[in-house]
Amino acid sequence: MSPPTFPSVTGRPLVLGHRGASAEAPENTLAAFRRAMELGADGFELDVWRCGSGEAVVIHDGDAERTGRSRLRVGRTPLSRLRELDVGRWRGEQFQGERIPSLPQVLDAFPSAVVNVEMKSGQVPDLGLAREVARTLRQHRAEPRVVVSSFSAALLAAFRALAPDVAAGYLVAPGTLWQARAAAAIRLLRPAAIHPARQLVTPARLEAWRRAGLHVLVWTVDDPAEVERLAALGVAAVVSNVPGAAREAVRRATGI
């Protein structure tokens, strides 16, 4: 079996909006994803949990308190109830009425966008989420334009078994023993990509990851000078809260 194809453009890194254009619009909403595309992004990153009725829903936290002013737990609440929440008004009256989208809804609304789907996990990984994401991507024929990532090695392993033809990326954050954990995950999971936090990316580490056959997607990069540095180093993608500024920085660094 051939390895999964990592979405790419020729000659420059992809630019993906972090939860959409979340510096300008309420995160993980259709408004934020739409704005990212308007600003010239190639696509966006989003977060998914499995809700109480089984669907993959797009929200960062395990509850809706921060963005929806509700203590409803995502994993215990059906999609119909979650869809009643207003997750836009907290960012301004102009966003009143934005709803929590489902993953199928986002894929259908933005058929040309590259999408980084981050599977979220509590202390006990919900392996049903991996099944639901794999099923959704297959049903919507979105596999070639999607990268699925997670901090949870268990979730990624479950997803890789279900969808070996979809690019998967292991997320890495600073912390104790991060290098050992990343090395073990790469060895065991054999992902297409590694997704390090920006402060972890040095020329030497980038070269080692690339020698290992990994695409490198870096998060979350809002400083244009840092975007230029990473683009010049040859990363595969950058994720930014300000995708318009990031796209301009990539253009300056690569001429594309």
Residues forming the active site: 18, 60
Closest by Cα among 170, 122, 120, 125 to 147 = 170
CA distance 94 to 115: 25
CA distance 204 to 202: 5
CA distance 187 to 71: 39
If you search the block for the tokens 């301009």, which residue do you land on?
248
CA distance 144 to 72: 34
Closest by Cα among 233, 225, 220 to 15 = 220
CA distance 93 to 147: 33
How many other CB atoms are found less than 10 A from the CB of residue 256? 11
Closest by Cα among 51, 33, 52 to 41 = 33
Could you tell me where the beta strands, DSSP code E, fall in 106-225?
114-119, 146-150, 167-172, 193-196, 215-218
Looking from the CA of 49 toward its CB, the CA atoms found within 13 Å total 22
H or E stretch covering 171: strand 167-172
Cβ-based neighbours of 208, under 8 Å, separated by 6 or more:
none
